[in-house]
Amino acid sequence: MNNGGEFMKRANLFLLIVLLLLLSACGHVSSVYTASLLVVIEKDHVDEDYWIIAYDPNNQTEEEAFQIMVDNELLWNNIKVDEEYAASYTKEGNKPWVLEEIK
């Protein structure tokens, strides 16, 4: 009978570990950090949401341009269309790209 009780304890412990791993995997949001050249082809805003449309000229064409959110209105105001910049930007999960730095 002792062996059966020990087996149940181990089985319950195993199930608990598997459950914890599954729960922690569901809550994990992957982040991507990128630094590249960007050519800005468009910029716009709605209320307090500011963004640029840009592409990396070393790896993409203008047709592959994508949106990058800009959290700072002053920074957004200083970004010029048809200019090339060195920039870093991040993406978390399904959220849009966010500009971190631009020079």
pLDDT at 69: 98
Q: Identify the band that residue 91 occupies on the pLDDT scale cut at 50, 70 and 90.
A: very high
In angstroms, rounded to a whole number, what is the distance separating the alpha carbons of residues 53 and 55?
7
The tens digit of pLDDT for each residue in 53-87 reads: 999 999 999 999 999 999 999 999 999 999 999 99
- Which residues does 89 contact at the CB level (< 8 Å), separation at least 6? 33, 34, 35, 68, 97, 98, 99, 100
